[in-house]
Amino acid sequence: MYYGTSYKSPVGDIFLASDENNIIGLWIGRQKYIDKTMPKDIRENDKLPIIRAGVQWLDDYFAGKNPKLSGLSLAPIGSQFRQEVWKLLLEIPYGELTTYGSISKEVARRMGKERMSAQAVGGAIGHNPISIIIPCHRVVGTNKSLTGYAGGIEKKIKLLKHEGVDMSDLIIPKTGTAL
């Protein structure tokens, strides 16, 4: 059984879900791929300790406190490849950026492969079911483009600004919004 609660945030409505012991999802609004990453049988319950811990993490994050993951057990549902990509996302420090290319090189190294497609990595990042906590918003294109974010480019921009990222050399895709 899965449980969840709604959360009002500066980037919009968030839904936080757990399997009773672990956070399994955090979705911003009706973000892209939500139908593929959100379990169908979620019951509203904001009393579970893991849900309360997730809400506290979000409170701290949006208060600018750079919360740590200790005490917040994560269990995103996905393939071994996606799990490896999501582990790498957790290593990106608060307020810093990396590229899809860098992640693809590191995933290849960790999986003992000669190379890994940045597009495959992009797909795994896009299907990250625990947005914000697993910080996929900190990934940009090699050319510094703010490409791709399942929650929408405008939310990615808000999250990066919230973390104090220098936005001056970042490129917004033509379909994105202004900095």
Structure tokens, 143: 């050319």
pLDDT at residue number 16: 95
Supply the pLDDT for residue 179. 47
Active site residues: 136
Spell out the SS3 assignment of 22-83: CEEEEEECCCCCHHHHCCCCEEECCCCHHHHHHHHHHHHHHCCCCCCCCCCCECCCCCHHHH
Residue 175: pLDDT band by 50, 70, 90 thresholds?
Answer: low
Residue 73, domain member (yes or no): no
Residue 109 forms part of a structural domain: yes
Q: Is the pLDDT of residue 176 over 70?
A: no
Same domain, 55 and 105: no
Query: Are both 57 and 97 inside the same structural domain?
Result: no
Same structural domain, 136 and 85? yes
Whether 41 is covered by a domain: the verdict is yes
Task: Give the domain range for residue 130.
Answer: 80-162
- pLDDT band of residue 173 (cuts 50, 70, 90) is confident
- List, for residues 134-169, the tens digit of each pLDDT value: 999 999 998 999 987 877 889 999 999 999 999 999
In a domain, 168, yes or no: no
Provide the CATH number for the domain around residue 154: 1.10.10.10
Place of tokens 């904001």: 46
Q: What is the pLDDT of residue 71?
A: 79
For 91-139, write each residue's pLDDT tens digit: 999 999 999 999 999 999 999 999 998 889 999 998 899 999 999 999 9
Query: Do the beta carbons of residue 132 and residue 102 sit within 8 Å?
Result: no
Residue 178 lies in a domain: no
Task: Examine the domain organization and report whether 101 and 31 are in the same domain.
Answer: no
Whole-model pTM: value is 0.91
Could you tell me the pLDDT band of residue 178, with boundaries at 50, 70 and 90? very low
Whether residue 116 contacts residue 24, with contact meaning beta carbons closer than 8 Å, is answered with no
Q: Tell me whether residue 173 is in a domain.
A: no
Residue 43, Cβ neighbours under 10 Å: how many? 9
Residues 148, 109 share a domain: yes
87/57 same-domain check: no
Q: Which residue has the higher pLDDT, 70 or 50?
A: 50
Tally of domains in the chain: 2
- Provide the CATH number for the domain around residue 26: 3.30.160
- pLDDT tens figures, 21-41: 999 999 898 766 666 667 788
